[in-house]
Chain A
Amino acid sequence: MKEERDVLEKTVASDYKYGFVTEIDTDVVAKGLSEETIRHISTKKNEPEWMLDWRLKAYNHWLKMEEPKWPNVHYPTINYQDIIYYAAPKKKQTINGLDEVDPELLKTFEKLGISINEQKRLTGVAVDVVMDSVSVATSFKKQLAEVGIIFCSMSEAIQNHPELVKKHLGSVVPMTDNYFAALNSAVFTDGSFCYIPKGVRCPMELSTYFRINTENSGQFERTLIVAEDESYVSYLEGCTAPRRDENQLHAAVVELVAMRKAEIKYSTVQNWYPGDDQGRGGIYNFVTKRGICSGEYSKISWSQVETGSAITWKYPSVILKGDNSIGEFYSVALTNHFQQADTGTKMIHIGKNTRSRIVSKGISAGKSQNSYRGLVRAGKNALNARNYSQCDSLLLGDKCGAHTFPYIESKNNTAVIEHEATTSKIGEDQLFYCRQRGIDTEAAVALIVTGFAKEVMNQLPMEFAVEAQKLLAISLEGSVG
């Protein structure tokens, strides 16, 4: 039995093999945070007065706030004066071809099935070499413009669509919402903006992949998606390709607005650097993601596959304001080594006949800690609100932890809230059964984990799901390969 356990340990003791750093010459604003820093960022970005005022207001509020201590995560104190808040990369080529890229990284790309051109873009091979990627993006943009969809960087949106930004920015996540949201509001550098006009069904999955200008969304990313009445959009954030970043703190904000009968499907694969097997380094990922179903019969669905970051602190939420609106949260969070994840969702039922569904799958390996934290609230007018939550944890080995913190608040007795939770281990019986069929331990673990996460994987758009599945396997891979 011991031997089997050792094998299991070895299997999960994989390294993040994609660590690589590109030395890009950057246009940097000095370290530290002050009003001056913020003015500087705003000027650099050539922003209108109202945007600067908004940032400064957020900053002044942030000064009065305290970092949250309630998540089940532990990290050294962050020195906010030791962070560089603005660094725009100059377009300068540092790598000439893929033969200069870490071969381990290329192997990973291959396993993930990422195209050569995409590999070049991701590894920082000069963009002009990657003509295809750019032209693909341009042609997509044209196609989107034809149906009136706006899909651009947040910076462009502030310049070109100020009335839309003004109206919706901070409408779902107010600048005062929480410590990290306030910080983001003050210093965000870029992100995505997406507007789907009334009655339009977005003809393709919108992906940050296809948005030129995405290289510098930076550590304080800001995303806003607005879906007008009877529109539909599916948005993919991030990619399965590994991302290393020297900025330890990431505090993004994502806001979604779904009007009457609109539907937004938001899928994320998060694969930031998780730190090494001793728990050194790695990204602190403190994200605020929230959507509002503001119109009746609207729907917002979050799907996420989280395998990266040293610390993840993230609760994609839905405010169910419109009557008969629907909120969904599907999550797979995998932690290994010393990773810590405190993730979950909030479903705030305000309107009548609102429904929400939560499916959370936590996978813990190594010495990691994986917590699900979810709040379901039914307000007094949320008559006949329904929620169903399913939280399953899978443990690999016996040095990791899984925790579930469900919070339920119901202010009316017509609401029905159901919560189910299970914890299981990969059994030696399961491993032996697989091995007896010729499937080695590593492949067996991947198979079992994929099976465990299936319900969530099924929610992801097809190509994304295939990649995410490979990513899970790679994140648990041993020294082999």
Chain B
Amino acid sequence: MLSIKNLHASVEGKEILKGINLEVKAGEVHAIMGPNGSGKSTLASVLAGREEYEVTDGSVKFLGKDILELSPEDRAREGLFLAFQYPVEIPGVSTVNFIKTALNEKRKYHGEEPLDAVSFMKLMKEKMNLVEIDKSLLTRSINEGFSGGEKKKNEIFQMAMLEPKLTILDETDSGLDIDALRIVASGVNKLRDENRAIIVITHYQRLLDYLQPDFVHVLLNGKIVKNGTKELALELEEKGYDFIKEEQNVTSAI
């Protein structure tokens, strides 16, 4: 589904991603872990097409298409969804209105008619239940005055509505209390199926306890330095990133 080869990217002339390789197949859940500043959000932004990040080398194929050629909106319409680490406020625009616009733009791209009001409401109700989100939240200005947990839940609700092929969760667990984490995680789990893939960016084991990733990758200083399974995440939890850094020093010394 997603094939990243030797991806290099820089911002304001500074290289942040230094040759990323990653293969994600339909049905898989991948976790990307790594210390602050290692380039996790940058990777997410580059995949989503944020223009301030310049791709200097490498390729990214998504469902067989070279997505680096596509605009951010077309990537989204092709089925790529990014749950933002810091969701953005848009005063005066409700989540309902926002997501309706998004959904219909996507449908238009695929040559479908806009969803009529009744079908939209029905879909919304269904997905609201799925992620245990309150209607009152959805009629307020999107993300404005939302608590951290509400913002993240709202991202998952949008994901549920748009039914993306590939979801990237950028630290969706940060700032959540145990209950919110459980709701968000179970929401994500309900949206898993063999046709979709998820990339979970996180610092912590606790989200992974719920999500049970198939693969875990460690991103350090713009490179994936270690690949493993969920046991790797447990090891990281226990020992921190230092042991990997040490391994790195050893290998680079050779």
State the A residues within 8 Å of B (CB): 1, 3-4, 427-430, 432-441, 443, 447-448, 450-455
B102 A439 Cβ-Cβ under 8 A: yes
User: Known: A3-B51, A447-B93, A451-B93. Is A438-B87 also a contact (CB below 8 A)?
Assistant: no
Other than the given A432-B48, A448-B90, 11 more pairs (CB < 8 A) read A1-B51, A432-B72, A433-B84, A433-B87, A436-B48, A437-B162, A439-B102, A440-B73, A441-B73, A451-B141, A454-B92
Looking at A433, A436, A452, A455, which has the most chain B CB atoms within 10 Å of its CB?
A436
Hey, which chain B residues are within 8 Å of A447, CB to CB? 90, 93, 97-98, 101
User: Known: A437-B162, A439-B101. Is A453-B92 also a contact (CB below 8 A)?
Assistant: yes
A451 B76 Cβ-Cβ under 8 A: no
Hey, which chain B residues are within 8 Å of A453, CB to CB? 92
Give 1 or 0 for each of B23-63: 1 = CB within 8 Å of chain A CB.
Answer: 00000000000000000000000001111100000000000
Interface residue tally for chain B (C-beta within 8 Å): 32
A429 B72 Cβ-Cβ under 8 A: no
Interface: B105 (CB within 8 A): yes
A435 B92 Cβ-Cβ under 8 A: no
Nearest-Cβ distance from residue A456 to partner chain B, whole angstroms: 10
A451 B91 Cβ-Cβ under 8 A: yes
Nearest-Cβ distance from residue B154 to partner chain A, whole angstroms: 12
User: Known: A1-B52, A4-B52. Is A439-B88 also a contact (CB below 8 A)?
Assistant: no
Nearest-Cβ distance from residue B181 to partner chain A, whole angstroms: 23
Hey, which chain B residues are within 8 Å of A450, CB to CB? 92-93
B51 A437 Cβ-Cβ under 8 A: no
Q: Of the candidates B71, B87, B158, which one forms a contact with A440 in the assembled complex, judged by CB atoms under 8 Å apart?
A: B71
B90 A437 Cβ-Cβ under 8 A: no
Interface: B243 (CB within 8 A): no
A432 B98 Cβ-Cβ under 8 A: no
Hey, which chain B residues are within 8 Å of A436, CB to CB? 48-49, 72-73, 75-76, 81-82, 84
From B80, which residue of chain A is reached at the shortest CB distance? Answer: A436
User: Known: A432-B50, A447-B93. Is A437-B84 also a contact (CB below 8 A)?
Assistant: no
Give 1 or 0 for each of B64-103: 1 = CB within 8 Å of chain A CB.
Answer: 0000000111011100011010011111110001110110
B51 A438 Cβ-Cβ under 8 A: no
Q: Can you give 25 A-B contacts (C-beta < 8 A)?
A: A3-B51, A4-B52, A427-B88, A429-B88, A430-B88, A430-B90, A433-B87, A435-B72, A436-B49, A436-B72, A436-B81, A437-B76, A437-B102, A437-B105, A438-B73, A438-B162, A439-B105, A447-B93, A448-B90, A450-B92, A450-B93, A451-B90, A451-B93, A451-B141, A453-B92
From B84, which residue of chain A is reached at the shortest CB distance? Answer: A433
Docked CA distance A428–B72 (Å) = 13
Hey, which chain A residues are within 8 Å of B81, CB to CB? 436
From B48, which residue of chain A is reached at the shortest CB distance? Answer: A436
B51 A451 Cβ-Cβ under 8 A: no
Give the tally of cross-chain contacts (CB within 8 A). Answer: 80
Docked CA distance A47–B147 (Å) = 67
Nearest-Cβ distance from residue A315 to partner chain B, whole angstroms: 25
B84 A435 Cβ-Cβ under 8 A: no
Docked CA distance A267–B89 (Å) = 30
From B51, which residue of chain A is reached at the shortest CB distance? Answer: A3
Interface: B210 (CB within 8 A): no
Nearest-Cβ distance from residue B102 to partner chain A, whole angstroms: 4
Nearest-Cβ distance from residue B146 to partner chain A, whole angstroms: 14
Docked CA distance A441–B105 (Å) = 12
Docked CA distance A259–B48 (Å) = 60
Interface: B106 (CB within 8 A): yes
Hey, which chain A residues are within 8 Å of B73, CB to CB? 435-436, 438-441
A443 B87 Cβ-Cβ under 8 A: no
Docked CA distance A451–B81 (Å) = 23
Hey, which chain B residues are within 8 Å of A3, CB to CB? 51
Hey, which chain B residues are within 8 Å of A439, CB to CB? 73, 101-102, 105
Docked CA distance A434–B82 (Å) = 11
From A3, which residue of chain B is reached at the shortest CB distance? Answer: B51
Docked CA distance A1–B54 (Å) = 10
A440 B105 Cβ-Cβ under 8 A: yes
A438 B52 Cβ-Cβ under 8 A: no
Q: Of the candidates A1, A432, A437, A448, which one forms a contact with B158 in the assembled complex, judged by CB atoms under 8 Å apart?
A: A437
Looking at A437, A440, A443, which has the most chain B CB atoms within 10 Å of its CB?
A437
Looking at B49, B84, B97, B98, which has the most chain A CB atoms within 10 Å of its CB?
B98
A4 B77 Cβ-Cβ under 8 A: no
A455 B92 Cβ-Cβ under 8 A: yes
User: Known: A435-B73, A437-B162, A438-B106. Is A452-B91 also a contact (CB below 8 A)?
Assistant: yes
Q: Of the candidates A1, A4, A433, A438, which one forms a contact with B109 in the assembled complex, judged by CB atoms under 8 Å apart?
A: A438
User: Known: A435-B73, A437-B76. Is A451-B92 also a contact (CB below 8 A)?
Assistant: yes
Looking at A430, A438, A454, which has the most chain B CB atoms within 10 Å of its CB?
A438
From B82, which residue of chain A is reached at the shortest CB distance? Answer: A436
Docked CA distance A302–B1 (Å) = 56
Hey, which chain B residues are within 8 Å of A437, CB to CB? 76, 98-99, 102, 105, 158, 162
From B107, which residue of chain A is reached at the shortest CB distance? Answer: A438
Nearest-Cβ distance from residue B101 to partner chain A, whole angstroms: 6
Hey, which chain B residues are within 8 Å of A4, CB to CB? 51-52
Hey, which chain A residues are within 8 Å of B77, CB to CB? 438
Nearest-Cβ distance from residue B104 to partner chain A, whole angstroms: 9
Hey, which chain B residues are within 8 Å of A432, CB to CB? 48, 50, 72, 88
Docked CA distance A440–B71 (Å) = 9
From B158, which residue of chain A is reached at the shortest CB distance? Answer: A437
Closest 7 CB pairs of A and B: A451-B92, A451-B93, A437-B102, A454-B92, A438-B76, A433-B88, A435-B72
